[in-house]
């Protein structure tokens, strides 16, 4: 007889969406009854594009990561706009605000992370609750936030972005590209201070300003001023920085309270073993931005969460839940755990400003234990700082070098060796023609299709051919793909032949 297992997922972000996708075969086959609880009213969406939505460069519907109708038709029970208020692990129930509790056989926490709200006068900074922010102050984490930002921008408001991390920069760039006047406010000498060195930072500031982003560095913020909404940021260093909106982009913190309140261990996230299990019984799991897996704090990127989701779906499908009163079954020792993508590559999203950084770029040019390469061309907006050990990249910052950066990302992620001479990479971004400027000799092939050489064409011309067709009849040059006709014409006109 077929036994149906009840699985409840708390949270409906991109990682939960991927887990649901992986569990669908079990749902369709009737072996899994899947319920999903989401505090937000929307289906899972892609937060990466929220800034584009706020500035009108992308429509909200395009963020959608799942087809809700398809999930419902498959039998997934979606509880949208419903908050989970508690978990009773002994009775195996999830309590919901304003709805009957949901019973589970296995439970998955995919509660994600919430923005860190800095301790500023005028802001509620309780780290363990959803913040009630004053009007005009927001963190770009939800579609509602994007909508709020859109409102401020539609009044042609000046928006301050607090925080020099990648998300803050991207939001500022998106606003600038849409014709707004964002102000990037951050402490430290330059944005991306954790990965970009001093010279790179200077160049980055210049590039941001050229892209229309005002940058205010070295700021120590102390509070906010409001008058029926945000009016300015109070600082110790720059007085009051006036603005019509404040976008807080100072990092995120795992949502662990619900897990902590039902007795699960939490630290930088809900603590799990390498199999994503948060309890000893292997009945409760956590993954994505809310989980500290096997001692690794969450990195805030999607790829690791997706890898975990894919693995967990396979595990849940193939390993049934422990029986209610039976002993917990150990996970087989030979079961491969999910492979963690620990990538820390940062890529700045936005046109005209191409910044990619990864790993540890510290170190001096003359350090013995690593090789440091620096290329700087600030006038052209180009900069590379590359740190390698045994030719393998350990960290880099690249600006204005799109192809170099793309190759470095691949080599960094795969751990493959780079060419001994780093300028090989830089040449990928050389706008000039790459073909060597050596004058062809008579024995060199002119026409690839026929194999005719410069000498043969020269002979044809000297023997009296006056048109490309005649040259073709004489030695077949130019009678294939036709790509060398221009060269033949030049030879007929006795022009010097370019390499």
Partner 1 sequence: MGSTATHCPYCALQCGISLQAQPASEHEPLALSGRDFETNGGALCRKGYSAARLLAHPERLQSPLLRQPDGSFAPIGWEQALDLVARQVRDTRTAHGADAVAVFGAGGLTNEKAYQLGKFARLALGTSRIDYNGRFCMSSAAAGANRAFGLDRGLPFPLADLDRAAMILMLGSNVADTMPPFVRHLEGARASGGLVVVDPRRSATAKLCDGSGWHLQPTPATDLQLLLGLCHVLLAESLVDADYLARRTTGLAQLRSSVAAWWPERTEAVTGVPASQIRRTARELAAAAQAARSGADPVYILTGRGVEQHENGTDTVTAAINLALLLGLPGTRAGGYGTITGQGNGQGGREHGQKCDQLPGYRKITDPEHRAHVARVWGVDPEVIPGPGVPATELLHTLGTDDGARMLLVHGSNPALSSPDASQVIAGLRRLDFLVVADFFLSETAAEAHLVLPVLQWAEEEGTMTNLEGRVLRRRAALQPPPQARDELWIFAELARRLDAPGTFSSDPREVFEELRRASAGGLADYSGIDWEDLDAGAAVYWPCPRGTRITGTRSGTPRLFLNRFAHPDGKARLTAVHATAQIHRPGRLSLVTGRLLEHYQSGTQTRRVEELAAAAPEARLEIHPATALAYGIAEGQRVQLDNERGRVIARAALSTDIRLDTVFLPFHFPGGNNANVLTETLVDPSSAMPEFKHTTVSLHPLEER
74 binds partner 1 (CB under 8 A): no
- 162 or 426: whose CB is closer to partner 1? 426
Least separation in angstroms between CB 155 and partner 1:
24
402 binds partner 1 (CB under 8 A): yes
33 binds partner 1 (CB under 8 A): no
**Angstrom distance (rounded) from CA 272 to CA 287:** 9
Among 126, 130, 360, 421, interactor with partner 1 by CB under 8 A: 421
**x/- contact string, 433-472, with partner 1 (CB under 8 A)?**
xx-------------xxxx---------------------
309 phi and psi angles, rounded to 5 deg? -60, -40
For 415-421, which contacts have Cβ atoms below 8 Å and span 24 or more sequence positions?
A: 416/392, 417/390, 417/391, 417/392, 418/386, 418/388, 418/391, 418/392, 418/393, 420/391
Residue 141: closest CA among 61, 40, 32, 240: 40
Among 98, 336, 415, 464, interactor with partner 1 by CB under 8 A: 415
Measure Cα distances from 392 to 175, 370, 373, 404, 419 in Å.
Answer: 37, 10, 13, 15, 9
409 binds partner 1 (CB under 8 A): yes
Among 134, 223, 363, 480, interactor with partner 1 by CB under 8 A: 480
72 binds partner 1 (CB under 8 A): no
403 binds partner 1 (CB under 8 A): yes
**Angstrom distance (rounded) from CA 343 to CA 296:** 12
**Angstrom distance (rounded) from CA 24 to CA 55:** 35
Torsion of CA 467, 469, 472, 477, to 10 degrees: 70
**Angstrom distance (rounded) from CA 212 to CA 470:** 58
Least separation in angstroms between CB 56 and partner 1:
10
**Angstrom distance (rounded) from CA 171 to CA 85:** 32
- 43 or 185: whose CB is closer to partner 1? 43
In sequence order, the 6+-apart residues with CB closer than 8 A to the CB of 295 are none
54 binds partner 1 (CB under 8 A): no
CB atoms within 10 A of CB 181: 16
Say whether 50 sits in a helix, a strand or coil.
helix
Give the DSSP per-residue string, 136-163. Answer: TEEETTSHHHHHHHHHHHHTT--EEEE-
369 in Cβ contact with 347 (< 8 Å): no
345 binds partner 1 (CB under 8 A): yes
Say whether 101 sits in a helix, a strand or coil.
strand
Among 29, 59, 335, 499, interactor with partner 1 by CB under 8 A: 59
Stretch that binds partner 1, among 49-57, 80-88, 185-193, 324-332 (CB under 8 A): 49-57
414 binds partner 1 (CB under 8 A): yes
380 binds partner 1 (CB under 8 A): no
| Strands across the sheet containing 99-103 | 84-88, 93-96, 99-103
Least separation in angstroms between CB 191 and partner 1:
17
# chain residues binding partner 1, by CB under 8 A:
62
Among 1, 69, 228, 437, interactor with partner 1 by CB under 8 A: 69
Least separation in angstroms between CB 117 and partner 1:
27
Q: For the stretch 218-244, what's the b/e string if a residue is b when 16 or more beta carbons lie within 10 angstroms of its beta carbon?
A: ebebeebebeeebbbbbbeeeeebebb
**x/- contact string, 128-167, with partner 1 (CB under 8 A)?**
----------------------------------------
Stretch that binds partner 1, among 44-52, 96-104, 124-132, 277-285 (CB under 8 A): 44-52
- 274-313: which residues touch partner 1 (CB under 8 A)? 302-303, 306-307
**Angstrom distance (rounded) from CA 82 to CA 103:** 15
- 258 or 446: whose CB is closer to partner 1? 446
**Angstrom distance (rounded) from CA 260 to CA 281:** 17
Among 267, 416, 463, 467, interactor with partner 1 by CB under 8 A: 416
- 55 or 264: whose CB is closer to partner 1? 55
Stretch that binds partner 1, among 172-180, 191-199, 272-280, 474-482 (CB under 8 A): 474-482
174 binds partner 1 (CB under 8 A): no
- 25 or 451: whose CB is closer to partner 1? 451
419 phi and psi angles, rounded to 5 deg? -60, 150
Residue 302: closest CA among 47, 24, 22: 47
List interacting residues with partner 1 (CB under 8 A): 14, 17, 45-46, 48-49, 52, 57-59, 61-67, 69-70, 302-303, 306-307, 343, 345, 347, 349, 351, 354, 391, 402-403, 405-407, 409-411, 413-421, 424-425, 427, 433-434, 448-451, 476, 479-483
């Amino acid at each position: 007889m077929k036994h149906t297992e009840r699985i409840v997922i708390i949270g409906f972000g991109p990682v939960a969406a991927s887990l649901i996708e992986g569990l669908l075969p079990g749902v369709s086959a009737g072996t899994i009854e899947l319920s999903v609880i989401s505090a937000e009213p929307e289906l899972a969406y892609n937060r990466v594009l929220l800034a584009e939505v706020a500035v009108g460069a992308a429509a909200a519907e395009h963020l959608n990561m799942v087809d809700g109708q398809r999930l419902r038709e498959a039998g997934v029970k979606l509880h949208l706009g419903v908050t989970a208020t508690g978990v009773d692990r002994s009775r195996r129930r999830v309590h919901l605000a304003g709805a009957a509790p949901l019973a589970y056989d296995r439970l998955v926490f995919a509660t994600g992370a919430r923005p860190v709200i800095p301790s500023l006068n005028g802001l509620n900074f309780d780290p363990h609750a959803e913040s009630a922010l004053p009007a005009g102050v927001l963190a770009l984490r939800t579609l509602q936030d994007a909508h709020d930002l859109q409102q401020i921008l539609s009044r042609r408001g000046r928006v301050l972005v607090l925080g020099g991390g990648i998300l803050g920069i991207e939001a500022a760039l998106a606003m600038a590209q849409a014709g707004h006047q964002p102000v990037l406010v951050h402490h430290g000498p330059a944005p991306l201070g954790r990965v970009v060195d001093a010279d790179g930072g200077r160049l980055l500031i210049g590039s941001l300003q050229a892209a229309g982003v005002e940058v205010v560095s070295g700021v120590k913020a102390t509070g906010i001023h409001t008058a029926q909404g945000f009016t300015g940021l109070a600082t110790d260093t720059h007085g009051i920085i006036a603005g019509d909106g404040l976008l807080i982009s100072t990092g995120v913190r795992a949502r662990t309270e619900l897990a902590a309140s039902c007795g699960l261990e939490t630290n930088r996230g809900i603590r799990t073993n390498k199999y994503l299990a948060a309890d000893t019984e292997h009945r409760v799991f956590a993954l994505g931005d809310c989980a500290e897996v096997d001692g690794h704090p969450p990195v805030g990127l999607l790829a690791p969460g997706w890898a975990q989701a894919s693995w967990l779906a396979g595990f849940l499908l193939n390993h049934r839940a422990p029986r209610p009163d039976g002993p917990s079954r150990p996970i087989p020792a030979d079961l491969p755990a999910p492979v963690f993508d620990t990538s820390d590559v940062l890529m700045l999203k936005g046109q005209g400003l191409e910044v990619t950084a990864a790993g540890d770029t510290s170190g001096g040019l003359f350090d013995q234990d690593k090789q440091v390469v620096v290329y700087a061309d600030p006038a052209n907006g180009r900069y590379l700082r590359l740190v390698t050990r045994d030719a393998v990249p350990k960290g880099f910052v690249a600006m204005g070098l799109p192809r170099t950066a793309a190759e470095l990302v691949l080599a960094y992620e795969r751990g493959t060796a780079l060419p001994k001479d780093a300028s090989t990479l830089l040449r990928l971004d050389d706008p000039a023609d790459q073909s060597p400027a050596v004058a062809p000799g008579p024995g060199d092939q002119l026409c690839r299709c026929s194999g005719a050489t410069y000498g043969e064409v020269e002979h044809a011309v000297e023997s009296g051919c006056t048109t490309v067709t005649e040259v073709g009849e004489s030695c077949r040059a130019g009678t294939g793909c036709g790509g060398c006709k221009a060269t033949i014409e030049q030879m007929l006109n006795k022009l010097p032949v370019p390499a």
